[in-house]
Structure 1
Amino acid sequence: MGDLKSLNKYLWRYRGRLALGILFVILSNLFAVVQPKMISQALDLVLQDIQSIQMASGFESRNDIISNLASNLLTYGILVICFALLMGIFMYFTRQTIIVVSRLIEYDLRRDIYHHYSTLSQNFYRKSRIGDLMNRIMEDVSKVRMYLGPAVLYSINLASLTILVVTSMVEVSPQLSLYTLIPLPFLSISIYYVSSLIHRKSTMIQQQLSMLTSLSQEIYSGIRVVKSFVKEKQMSGYFTENCDDYKDKSMALVQVNAFFQPLMILIVGISTIAVIYFGGLQINSGAISAGTLVEFIIYVNMLTWPVTSMGWIASIIQQAAASQRRIDEFFDHQPAIPNGDIGQISFSESIEFKNVSFVYPDTGIKALDNVSFKIHKGDKIAIIGKTGSGKTTIAEMLLRTFDPTSGEIMVDGINLKKLDLAVWRELVGYVPQDNFLFSDTIENNIRFGRDQATEQEIETAAAKSMIHKEISELPKAYQTRIGERGVSLSGGQKQRASIARALIKDPEIIILDDALSAVDANTEQEISSVLDKEFNGRTLFNITHRLNPSTQYDQIIVLQRGQIAAIGQHETLYYSNKFYRYLMDHAVLESS
């Protein structure tokens, strides 16, 4: 149960409903326990009246005794039915409180997990598998809900019913109660042993299920690669191998559960036999009546389902504990990028990198090495270099998805770490390399940049990114739904849709991370011209491996192996830096 302690805050949040639920369980069981007493009294009355009827044979009082017996049986019958109805009503109220609470906590837990995921840094997602993240927020939370709902309900029901039944049994016959409860220590030992097995096997099952989910997600996301390399059979075999492993682990848990329930029934059966045997001896000695024996048998049968459900409850609790531990593993991850406390931000002067170095923590690769430069508001900056030179890392630093390993990034003289992340990122429009698009309409993908954007503003942003004409020619135009990650669009179309999404945000700073690599040189020149006009007075970072010769930049930063090889304007760099001259000559050849 130690792994489930973190759920106590949710249970405390709904303590009022839970308290009502516990009260309803107790009341329901109270009316259930009263019924055997009524039956016992009715049986003793019947036996007594039958004996009186036999003794009154031939007398006029015989009819009165029969009439009185019928009246008493009707009264007891009505009482038993009334108690049964009250028991059912309170059981209904029980489910309307405890089970509803479990659903509310399920909602809260999923919401908290999602919120926590959204606060974690990029480094966390580089290390984690998407399938595993999905499995924890879906399957593991469902396992936890089974503990919060059915397991809690039946545990309270078992505890309250056992206390009420045992109390009633002891009041009637302490000696017979002792014989009935002798098997309980064996029950406790078996529960302890089997629960540990269930916990261990449940953990392995959830881990394997995460593996299956991750594997499925990767195969379906990369289905074009799988098909192009004709690896369908190989991947199917690998998936089948993992499925078989999951099946074997699940069957091992099934075998444990299959052993547990018959064991519970056996122990309850032994208790029933003990009641009948020792109860018969006590009836023979006159210590108890036949009605009392029947009452005891009913009590034992009343405990049959709650006791046999202990195995099921133990299985649910152990599976929930294994799942909650996996959930808590992610809750224990704290954001590597803590939020700053300066919420009033107005970028008005400059952004400066001061001796910035960065080493990727998961690979140990040094992406930036002592990089220093300063740009002013309204500058248009180009950052060029070969693959792996550190261009994208500078974009990550500007967005603060990573913090420098050493050095500082200053915005208007204030360390970027001190600024509120959400407020700062609202000032930035970012077009990443991978051009991620959602499985939604083209309109909604562009509107993602600004929720309140009108249709006219969306079309204007698309026109500026040179994709409006192509969208208009589609059968449903802007209402066309694109596949997952924009799979139904070409690389150039995805890039231009991403640019439109950034433009509609109307940001103070725009970062294009190799955002025009999939378009031809003429389209790139047209987009660059639009950006030149639209972002006059605003700051533009164009991170690329090639430059449009017609675009004027205030500064061009040339990166090599994570260091600044050169910095300056076009005229100076073209004649002083061979690498820059090569890139520019290559760009001219492409555009010709």
Structure 2
Amino acid sequence: MRLFSQLRHFFLREWRRYLGAVSLLVIIALLQLIPPKLVGVIVDGVAQQRMTSATLLMWIGLMLLAALITYLLRYVWRILLFGASYQLAVELREDFYRQLSRQHPAFYLRHRTGDLIARATNDVDRVVFAAGEGVLTLVDSLVMGIMVLLVMSTSISWQLTLLALLPMPIMAVIIHRYGEQLHQRFKTAQAAFSSLNDQVQESLSSIRMIKAFGLEEHQSKKFTAIAGDTGAKNMRVAQIDARFDPTIYLAVGLSNLLAMGGGSWMVWRGILSLGQLTSFIMYLGLMIWPMLALAWMFNIVERGSAAWTRIQALLAEVPTVVDGFVTVPQGRGLLQIAVRQFSYPGSRQTALLHLIVDLKPGQMLGLCGPTGSGKSTLLSLIQRHFDIEQGEIRFHGKSLTLFRLDSWRSRLAVVNQTPFLFSDTVANNIALGRPGASREEIEQAARLASVHDDILHLPQGYETQVGERGVMMSGGQKQRISIARALLLNAEILILDDALSAVDGRTEHQILHNLRRWGCGKTLIISAHRLSALVEANETLVLKMGAVEQRGTHSQLIQRPGWYQDMYRYQQLEAALEDEDHEVPYCG
């Protein structure tokens, strides 16, 4: 029952719908009391031979009319009640998505995709079901049960009513215990379902790799084990679930037995008429639904409460990066980076150390170094995926922590190491950041990214569906489409995080040439392993273990002994060997 208290803000806001539904339920309950009463009157009238055919038809017609009105009213209250609960589903999912969009990489290190999907779908459905069907069964069972009890005790016999209800308190205590057990077991089962969802999502996302390594059988066994564990936990829920109905039917059976025994004795003694006993038994039959509904309501609400706990635990997480309150000033500005020390949350290892650089508008900054040297970390800090405790990054002379995140990130266009394409057309993928862009603007961005000709060779050109995660495209094509997407934004600062690794040297040279021509006056930050991408940089930082080992222009760095010079010579030698391989045919 905790869930109703947790959702009281929603019930108070939607009180008109719920009040209307409850009012109709009360009217329906009153209408359902009519048939048993009329049946008792008919039985006594027929037994005493004082009922005419016209009177009998009138009573039967009245019962049919009550049934018809009940049917119509049930249709109306379902629209009112479930319309409100479906609105709750929309709001919960909007809150959930808004919360996910506000979170930063540290959040996604703690939560897996399958678990998040399970909470946004299965858990929300459980809460909504409790807010709709749960409220219905609670009100229906209480209203119907109380009215039937009042009629039984006031119009027939309160002594017989008390006798028939003796098993009910025992049933209520047992059902309450079942509810507590169900809450814990269902919470565990939902966590297992999240793990199963994780496994499915990972398997489908990596299906190509699984097939390439011949791991189908291994993954199948792994999935079977997780599915078996999930099934076992759901079976434990079902074991509690299965106890509700037998307990209720046993209690109702005992009530009927007591009512028949006590009622027969009262008829024999002349305290009740046969028609009154018939009406009493029919009213007692109406008590079966409230008892079943009450147990079902406990079941629904406990499941919803467990799901609500999981949803609220996620919604309550505060983003690690706090949004600012200042809009980024208009116009180009100086980007000042001063990182004394930075470590990822929960890690003691230093990711960046003593890194200071100023980047003027229109300049190009190159970043290179061994794998794990801190290049992507620096780019993440510039995008404010994490905040720096020792040091700061400033733009227009103000710390990035003061700026609103949406305002700051609107000044950036980013192409990450691993390009992501949505299951949509090529044109819509390029226009992701500017949905209203014209076809001419889209094609111009594609030309700058040297992917226009490739797109024209696709079956439907720019209207070609790229498939899920761009499965129809090569790695180089995906990178260049991602670059075109970033260029279409026409942002002040363009960040390329090793975004040219999947293209050949000639295409890389063409793209960089186009970027310098396009980016006149715009700031460009390029992280690359292939040093030819950094030839035109105003300054290049060589990072190692998070610290700046060397810095300077390309011409300066190739003259100094160190990682940059060694890597440049190695890459030059590698390129020369590749040219020789192309020139001399291999004869075996």
Equivalence for 2:37? 37
Instruction: Quote the Cα distance in structure 1 between the aligned partners of 2:555 and 2:139.
Output: 81
Q: Percent identity?
A: 33
Q: Structure 1 pair 312/549, CA: closer, same or farther in 2 (3 Å)?
A: closer
- The question of 1:505 aligning with 2:489 is answered yes
438-447 or 572-581: bigger deviation? 572-581
1:165 corresponds, among 144, 148, 160, to 148
Q: Structure 1 pair 3/574, CA: closer, same or farther in 2 (3 Å)?
A: farther
1:68-217 alignment runs, 5 A limit: 69-172=52-155, 173-217=157-201
Instruction: Quote the Cα distance in structure 1 between the aligned partners of 2:11 and 2:98.
Output: 20
| Structure 1 letter corresponding to 2:291 | V
Partner deviation per Cα, 1:105-144 (whole Å, 9 max, x = no partner):
1111111111111111111012211011101101111111
| Structure 1 letter corresponding to 2:7 | L
| Structure 1 letter corresponding to 2:290 | P
Gaps of 5+ in 1: 51-64
Q: Structure 1 pair 534/340, CA: closer, same or farther in 2 (3 Å)?
A: same
472-481 or 540-549: bigger deviation? 540-549
Equivalence for 2:26? 26
Q: What's the offset of the Cα at 1:292?
A: 1.4
- Partner SS state of residue 324, structure 1: helix
Q: Structure 1 pair 365/566, CA: closer, same or farther in 2 (3 Å)?
A: same
Equivalence for 2:230? 246
Number of equivalenced pairs: 575
Contact 2:339 2:352 in 1 (8 A): no
Q: What's the offset of the Cα at 1:286?
A: 1.8
Contact 1:384 1:557 in 2 (8 A): yes
Instruction: Quote the Cα distance in structure 1 between the aligned partners of 2:463 and 2:184.
Output: 50
| Structure 2 letter corresponding to 1:415 | S
1:548-563 alignment runs, 5 A limit: 548=532, 551-563=535-547
Q: Structure 1 pair 347/358, CA: closer, same or farther in 2 (3 Å)?
A: farther
Q: What's the offset of the Cα at 1:549?
A: 7.1
- Partner SS state of residue 312, structure 1: helix
Q: Structure 1 pair 549/420, CA: closer, same or farther in 2 (3 Å)?
A: closer
2:310 corresponds, among 326, 334, 338, to 326
Equivalence for 1:54? none
Q: What's the offset of the Cα at 1:218?
A: 0.6
Instruction: Quote the Cα distance in structure 2 between the aligned partners of 1:205 and 1:562.
Output: 43
- Partner SS state of residue 438, structure 1: coil
Instruction: Quote the Cα distance in structure 2 between the aligned partners of 1:591 and 1:522.
Output: 12
Query: What is the Cα-based RMSD across aligned positions, in Å?
Result: 1.7
Equivalence for 2:585? none
Contact 2:512 2:533 in 1 (8 A): no
* Length-normalised TM-score, structure 2: 0.94
Partner deviation per Cα, 1:401-427 (whole Å, 9 max, x = no partner):
111132111111111011011111111
Q: What's the offset of the Cα at 1:363?
A: 4.1
Instruction: Quote the Cα distance in structure 2 between the aligned partners of 1:491 and 1:69.
Output: 89
| Structure 2 letter corresponding to 1:9 | H
Equivalence for 1:409? 393
Q: Structure 1 pair 550/194, CA: closer, same or farther in 2 (3 Å)?
A: closer
- Partner SS state of residue 253, structure 2: helix
Partner deviation per Cα, 1:526-584 (whole Å, 9 max, x = no partner):
10000000001110001112322784222212211111122222333332352222233
| Structure 1 letter corresponding to 2:111 | S
- Partner SS state of residue 459, structure 2: coil
Q: What's the offset of the Cα at 1:253?
A: 2.2
- Partner SS state of residue 295, structure 2: helix
1:235-314 alignment runs, 5 A limit: 235-314=219-298
453-462 or 157-166: bigger deviation? 453-462
Contact 1:521 1:590 in 2 (8 A): no
Q: What's the offset of the Cα at 1:225?
A: 1.9
| Structure 1 letter corresponding to 2:254 | I
Instruction: Quote the Cα distance in structure 2 between the aligned partners of 1:147 and 1:414.
Output: 49
Gaps of 5+ in 2: 577-588
| Structure 2 letter corresponding to 1:128 | H
Contact 1:347 1:411 in 2 (8 A): no
Contact 1:549 1:584 in 2 (8 A): no
Q: What's the offset of the Cα at 1:93?
A: 1.5
Contact 2:542 2:564 in 1 (8 A): yes
Contact 1:261 1:309 in 2 (8 A): no
| Structure 2 letter corresponding to 1:21 | A
| Structure 1 letter corresponding to 2:29 | N
| Structure 2 letter corresponding to 1:134 | I
Q: What's the offset of the Cα at 1:590?
A: 5.3
2:556 corresponds, among 557, 569, 572, to 572
Instruction: Quote the Cα distance in structure 2 between the aligned partners of 1:3 and 1:164.
Output: 26
Instruction: Quote the Cα distance in structure 2 between the aligned partners of 1:446 and 1:362.
Output: 36
